[in-house]
């Protein structure tokens, strides 16, 4: 979203085209899956705290619902674009399919910056987005969730507005809610933990003990923080993280060779994942440019921020020591960068597999809400581990047997499952 010349939807289509060729899909099937089934552009008027009315632009895109209700987050970002949302909706379809949960792909967004909005103004955006789209959302057709710069509180405002409009209690309409208000235990940890479940399995495949590894992570939001937490628990050491500084409007990397202190950094981090530079420096962290995370001499790289971060221009900066890249973010690696990563034999855990923990636990939340029976945290995380591990083994097994790049193997499985559903429904 930071590079106006970059079109993530074109990247998503390019990735699909490559797999369509491998699967020898007919033209009709390609046309159906290359584009989204539906998309909505809405205007959301909000009365601001100063009494003026400001109109925010919002989107919802439903890519494919052949395998079940559409599912996908809604993000608030000042540089949100419809092409970003289109790409994310398509990736959600493949992500749900690769972990084999009965959902399709969707995504939503609003062009806004929560940093500069009061809680009341943010609530107005949430309720306004629902008012504009409530006829086309619901637990049986499209289920939103949190994403970049949206929170459980935002989800609860949206749920309240939806239930008010529908006149009934429908907690399964939206996921990522606060625990105690229909949210699932373990949902906060799910995406970051899912990344490390995949990393753990990749290290087993490479026969490398986790305790012998180091990692560098782009981002310090929810995904990155819980990835660090679980990675530390399996005795890995994170030596560098990067984050966006809202005050300076620039990103920085924070490096400590003997390992970052997660609790310490969280204590000096704002609610959007921005680390206080001065306090970090006093605590012994080396402050580096924001893109320095990619050039660290570590075993594992985890891009866990935004799309278009590992490109043809910077992929050559990746150290020869790197053995694994685990995509905690959506679409962080461009196709031209993929070619070099593949040629260098770096073990790639693609986004639709690496960060599928979030949507998997969202599915668990939906199930729990619909039956009004909630599981304990250990049960949720145990089911998540099983689901992610099974998906990893299926993708890795296909990659080895067919000599495919891991991304291609994940796409072959995911697209194949969606194509099968479309054919069985008689759509193609």
Look at residue 6 in the predicted model and tell me its pLDDT.
Answer: 83
pLDDT tens digits for 10-27?
Answer: 999 999 999 999 999 999
Look at residue 244 in the predicted model and tell me its pLDDT.
Answer: 85
Look at residue 4 in the predicted model and tell me its pLDDT.
Answer: 61
Provide, rounded to the nearest whole percent, the portion of the chain with pLDDT above 70. 99
| pLDDT band of 1, cuts 50, 70, 90 | very low
Name the residue with higher pLDDT: 203 or 222. 203
Rounded Cα distance between 155 and 74, Å, is: 9
From first CA to last CA, the distance across the chain in angstroms is 34
Q: What is the mean pLDDT of the chain?
A: 95
Look at residue 270 in the predicted model and tell me its pLDDT.
Answer: 83
Whether 71 and 145 have beta carbons less than 8 Å apart is answered as yes
Look at residue 307 in the predicted model and tell me its pLDDT.
Answer: 85
Rounded Cα distance between 415 and 15, Å, is: 11
Handedness of CA 305, 361, 105, 413 (dihedral sign): positive
| DSSP secondary structure code for residue 91 in this structure | H
pLDDT greater than 60 at residue 3: no
pLDDT greater than 90 at residue 9: yes
User: Which residues have C-beta within 8 Å of that of residue 236, sequence separation ≥ 6?
Assistant: 199, 210, 211, 213, 214, 215, 300
| DSSP secondary structure code for residue 103 in this structure | -
pLDDT tens digits for 215-241?
Answer: 999 999 889 999 999 999 999 999 999
What's the count of helices (H) and strands (E) in the chain, helices before strands?
14, 12
pLDDT greater than 70 at residue 67: yes
Structure tokens at 95: 């992500």
- Residues designated as active site: 107
Rounded to 5 degrees, φ, ψ at 297 are: -85, 80
Whether 34 and 54 have beta carbons less than 8 Å apart is answered as no
pLDDT tens digits for 123-181?
Answer: 999 999 999 999 999 999 999 999 888 999 999 999 999 999 999 999 999 999 999 99
pLDDT greater than 80 at residue 251: yes
Element (H, E) at 23: helix 8-23
Rounded Cα distance between 285 and 136, Å, is: 48
In this prediction, residues 267-293 reach a mean pLDDT of 91
Regarding pTM above 0.85, the answer is yes
Selection from 259, 231, 241, 243 nearest residue 354 by Cα: 231
Name the packing angle between helices 377-402 and 187-206 (round to 10°): 40
Look at residue 85 in the predicted model and tell me its pLDDT.
Answer: 96
As a residue count, the chain comes to 428
Rounded to 5 degrees, φ, ψ at 322 are: -65, 130
- Domains along the chain with CATH numbers: 41-172 (3.40.50.10860), 188-349 (3.40.50.720)
């Amino acid at each position: 979203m930071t590079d106006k010349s970059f079109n993530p939807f074109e990247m998503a289509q390019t990735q699909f085209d490559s797999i369509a060729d491998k699967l020898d899909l007919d033209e009709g099937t390609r046309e159906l899956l290359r584009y989204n089934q539906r998309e909505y552009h809405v205007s959301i008027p909000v009365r601001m705290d100063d009494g003026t009315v400001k109109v925010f632009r919002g989107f919802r895109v439903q890519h494919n619902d052949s395998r079940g209700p559409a599912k996908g987050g809604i993000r608030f970002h000042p540089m949100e674009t419809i092409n970003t949302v289109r790409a994310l909706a398509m990736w959600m379809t493949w992500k749900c399919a690769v972990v084999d949960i009965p959902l399709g792909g969707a995504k939503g967004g609003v062009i806004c910056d929560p940093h500069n909005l009061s809680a009341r103004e943010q609530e107005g955006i949430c309720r306004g987005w629902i008012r504009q789209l409530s006829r086309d959302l619901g637990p049986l057709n499209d289920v939103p969730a949190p994403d970049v710069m949206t929170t459980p509180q935002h989800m609860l405002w949206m749920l309240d507005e939806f239930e008010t409009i529908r006149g009934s209690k429908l907690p399964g309409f939206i996921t990522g809610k606060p625990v105690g208000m229909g949210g699932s235990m373990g949902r906060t940890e799910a995406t970051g933990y899912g990344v490390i479940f995949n990393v753990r399995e990749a290290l087993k495949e490479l026969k490398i003990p986790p305790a012998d590894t180091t990692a560098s992570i782009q981002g310090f939001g929810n995904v990155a923080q819980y990835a660090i937490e679980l990675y530390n628990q399996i005795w890995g050491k994170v030596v560098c993280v990067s984050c966006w500084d809202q005050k300076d409007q620039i990103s920085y990397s924070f490096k400590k060779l003997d390992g970052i202190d997660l609790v310490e950094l969280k204590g000096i981090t704002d609610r959007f994942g921005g680390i206080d530079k001065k306090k970090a420096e006093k605590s012994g962290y080396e402050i580096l440019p924001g893109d320095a995370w990619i050039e660290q001499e570590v075993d594992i790289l985890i891009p866990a921020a935004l799309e278009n971060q590992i490109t043809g221009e910077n992929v050559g900066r990746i150290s020869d020591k790197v053995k694994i890249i685990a995509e905690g973010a959506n679409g962080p690696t461009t196709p031209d960068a993929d070619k070099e990563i593949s040629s260098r034999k770096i073990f790639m855990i693609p986004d639709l597999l690496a960060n599928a923990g979030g949507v998997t636990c969202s599915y668990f939340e939906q199930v729990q809400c619909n039956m009004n029976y909630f599981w304990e945290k250990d049960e949720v995380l145990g089911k998540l581990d099983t689901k992610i591990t099974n998906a990893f083994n299926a993708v890795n097994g296909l990659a080895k047997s067919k000599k495919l790049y891991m991304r291609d193997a994940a796409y072959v499985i995911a697209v194949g499952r969606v194509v099968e559903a479309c054919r069985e429904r008689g759509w193609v």
